[in-house]
Amino acid sequence: MGSPVRARPGMLGRLSMASTADESSPGPVLRVAQQVPRTEAEGPGHRFALWLQGCPLRCPGCCNPEMFAMERGPLVTVDALAARVLSTPGIEGFSLLGGEPFSQPGPAADLCERLRAGGLSTMVFSGYTLAELKAQANPDVERLLRALDLLVDGRYEKDLPETRRRWIGSSNQVMHFLTPRYSPEDPTFTAPNTAEVHFVEGRLIINGWPALADRLRP
């Protein structure tokens, strides 16, 4: 996928199996790859970051090739995800990465609508451009776009590392301010890019700016 998603392969922080979908927990589900409950490397402020499994774009040099396959990762209900995110203290927003979030647009829209109604800002990193997404004329894609405050779009180009704009993986990508909640004039958006190291449920996750995150990996 083209957006700046990066984590050490094989070391995925997953939701507990108690949250996965089964016959007793109906409703929309998302195929999940990993989570970081509190990060400053995936958007403004402290955010809950969730990576979805599956990406048809498969950008060369993507930091998460293990998230390409559509059939991997547990299915987790939107209800369980929303409850977990909304119960996380001290966060101002939610960031959805992948994989490709727009490969699961209906449940992703359900989740982002719930979280924004709960007071959180919403942000998605997508390998599709905004023009490509609008051209799909898919009601679920359109609903997900309406549920977002921020969108980072475009394929990840490993030979075009972005060094000046925060939370942007490669220089061809664009950050779209879809609501007035954030402003491109805010100095937060021009601060240096960062990478972080987390232990989530006993697993090591390195997330943040791809060029720096790669250097931190053993």
pLDDT above 80 (res 145): yes
What CATH number did the domain enclosing 194 receive?
Answer: 3.20.20
State how many domains the chain has. Answer: 1
Task: Give this prediction's pTM.
Answer: 0.81
Is the residue at 122 inside a domain? yes
Q: What is the pLDDT of residues 172-183, one digit of tens each?
A: 999 999 999 999
Average pLDDT, integer, range 46-56: 96
Is the residue at 9 inside a domain? no
* 196 CB-near residues (< 8 Å, 6+ apart): 36, 39, 40, 41, 206, 207, 208
Average pLDDT, integer, range 20-28: 64
- Higher-confidence residue of 5 and 115: namely 115
Is the residue at 99 inside a domain? yes
- Our CA angle for 212, 213, 215, nearest 5°, is 65
pLDDT above 70 (res 21): no
Q: What is the pLDDT of residues 69-78, one digit of tens each?
A: 898 899 999 9
- Higher-confidence residue of 162 and 150: namely 150
Preceding omega of 99 cis (within 30 degrees of 0): yes
* 41 CB-near residues (< 8 Å, 6+ apart): 167, 193, 194, 195, 196, 207, 208, 209
Is the residue at 21 inside a domain? yes
Q: Which of 14-18, 34-38, 50-54 has the lowest mean pLDDT?
A: 14-18
User: Domain range holding 183?
Assistant: 17-216
How would you classify residue 201: left for phi > 0, otherwise alpha for psi between -120 and 50, otherwise beta? Answer: left
